[in-house]
Amino acid sequence: MTDLYKQYKEFGITENVFRYCENVLDSLEERFKAIDKTAEYNQLKVLKAMQDARVSVECFNSSTGYGYGDIGRDKLEEVYRNVFKGEDALVRPQITCGTHALALALMSNLRPGDELLSPVGKPYDTLEEVIGIRESKGSLLEYNISYKQVDLIDDKEFDYEGIRNAINDKTKLVTIQRSKGYATRPSFGVDEIGKLVKFIKDIKPEVLIMVDNCYGEFVEDKEPLEVGADMIVGSLIKNPGGGLAPIGGYIVGKKECVENAAYRLTSPGLGKEVGASLNVITSMYQGLFLAPTVTASALKGAIFAANVYERLGYNVFPKADDVRHDIIQAIELKEEKALLEFCKGIQYAAPVDSFVTPEPWDMPGYDSKVIMAAGAFISGSSIELSADGPLKPPYNVYFQGGLTWPHVRFGIINSLQKLHDANLVIDSRL
C-alpha cells in the first residue's frame, strides 16, 4: 500500500478502485507530457505579455468611482491584448459573465438591418435569447438584426456550400463557437477555425468574425485571433481567470470592434476611459498568470475521466483518445441514479460545501430538472471542479474544471467510488 493510498483511504476509496485508476493513469503519461508542454509554452506567453506591458505594483492600486486614469485596468487590457494577439482589449469586472460579454460584442458591432450568421449550428443556450431565437426582451431581433444558422453536416463538419449560400449583402458578423459547450458536436481546434475564417473572408472580406472562446483559452498554444478572427470573447470565471478572478469578461480583437464594445458597455463618449477596477484587479492579474497551468489541470482531468469511464464501457464525448480543444468532458451515465451518484462524488470531493448533497432542481430555461455539483471558492466558477447534467436520458454528465491536478484526480476517483458503492458499476477490476 503506497503512502498516497493512505490518504485516499481516509476518504473511503477502496484499494481496487484506487488501483484501477492508477493503471489508467499509467497509460496517460505521454499525453500529460504534451499538456505540460503546452502549459509551459503558454506560461511564458503570459509572462512575456506582463513584462512587455511593464506590469508593476502600482497596477494593483485599484480605483473606485469613475475610475479615470486607472493604470492597473489599462495595463491589464494591454496584457490581454499581448497574450491573445489583438489590437485592443476590453477586460472588465463590469462585464458580468460570458453571456454578457458575448451579448456586448454582438450588440455593439451590429446595427439595425444587419444579419448575424452562425456557420456552426446552434449557439450556446443562453445566446438563443440574446439573438432572439427564443423570444426575449432586448434581443437582437427586437432591434431588427436578423439571424441565420447553417448546421454542421452530421453534427461535425462545416457545410461549406451551405455557408456560401447563407452569406448575403446583410451578413455583417459571423459567430463561431469554439467549444461544443453542452452539445454533443465536437469542439473546434484553432486551425480548423482558421480554415473556416479563411473560407468566409474569401467570400466576403469585410465581414467580422467573432469567436466565442469560452472554455478554449490556453488549451492550445494558439488562439483564434492568430488565424484571422476579428474578435474573441470569453468569461473570467472560466479558463483565463485561473480560478482567482471573482468576476469579469473579455473582448479582444480589432481596435474598431473593441471600441464599439467599450462605448456600448459604458456610454458613447466615455468608452474605455471609465470603469473602476474595484478590489478585484489583482486577482485578475494573478488568475491570468495561473491560467495556463490551471487549464492544464482541467484538461488532464477531462482526459483521465474519459479513460476511466470509457474503459468501463461508458460512452464518453470526446472519446478517451480524442485530441482536446476545450476542457469539458461528457459521460453518458445511462441511468438517473448514476448521474446523482456521480455528482455526489464530485460534491463530496470539494474543498467548499463538501458536506452538502446536490439536489436536482428546475433551472430556468431548461425543459427537465438539472443537477449540479460544485464546491467552488467563486460562485458558479466552472474552471473549478464541477459537474452537471439534465435529468433525462441518456443521463449525460458534463464534467469540467479543477484548479489543481491532484484535486481533479481525486474528484474523478471519488465519483467512481460512489457509483461502485451504489452497485451501479459492476466490473471485476473494481
Minimum CB distance to ligand PLP, residue 69 (Å):
29
* C-beta of 185 vs 409, nearer to ligand PLP: 185
Stretch that binds ligand PLP, among 20-28, 207-215, 307-315, 420-428 (CB under 6 A): 207-215
| Interface with ligand PLP in residues 350-389 (CB under 6 A) | none
CB 371 within 8 A of CB 388: yes
Residue 214 vs 340, nearer CB to ligand PLP: 214
CB-CB neighbours of 213 under 10 Å: 33
Compute φ and ψ for 353, nearest 5 degrees.
60, 35
Cell numbers at residue 264, please?
456600448
For ligand PLP, the closer CB: 125 or 159: 125
Q: How far is CA 292 from CA 44, 53, 170, 283, 332, in A?
A: 9, 19, 39, 15, 29
Residues 85-144 that bind ligand PLP (CB under 6 A): 97-99, 102, 124, 126
Q: Helix, strand or coil for residue 276?
A: coil
Q: Closer to ligand PLP by CB, 63 or 109: give it.
A: 109
Contact between 216 and 179 (Cβ < 8 Å): yes
Nearest to 198 by CA among 175, 161, 222, 228: 228
Burial of 360: CB neighbours in 10 Å, binned 0-12, 13-18, 19+: middle
Q: Nearest distance from residue 400's CB to ligand PLP, in Å?
A: 9
- Nearest-approach distance from CB 16 to ligand PLP, in angstroms: 36
The 280-299 site mask, x for binding ligand PLP (CB under 6 A), equals: --------------------
Grid cell in block for residue 375: 464546491
* Nearest approach, Cβ of residue 102 and ligand PLP (Å): 6
Nearer to ligand PLP, 98 or 287 (CB): 98
Q: Should residue 181 be labelled a site residue for ligand PLP when binding is judged by CB under 6 A? A: yes
Nearer to ligand PLP, 48 or 156 (CB): 156
- Comparing every residue's Cβ against ligand PLP, the nearest one is 98
Part in contact with ligand PLP (CB under 6 A); list of ranges 199-207, 210-218, 285-293, 366-374:
210-218
Q: How far is CA 396 from CA 92, 96, 205, 347, 372, in A?
A: 34, 28, 40, 17, 12
Minimum distance from residue 116 beta carbon to ligand PLP (Å): 15
In the sheet with 171-177, reading across from the earlier edge strand, the strands are 88-92, 249-253, 231-235, 208-212, 171-177, 115-118, 146-149
CA distance 21 to 232: 37
Nearer to ligand PLP, 179 or 417 (CB): 179
Q: Which is nearer to ligand PLP, 89 or 274 (CB)?
A: 89
Site for ligand PLP in 211-270 (CB under 6 A): 212, 214-215, 235
Percent helix, percent strand, percent coil in the chain, to nearest 5: 45, 15, 45
Q: Which residues bind ligand PLP (CB under 6 A)?
A: 97-99, 102, 124, 126, 177, 179, 181, 212, 214-215, 235
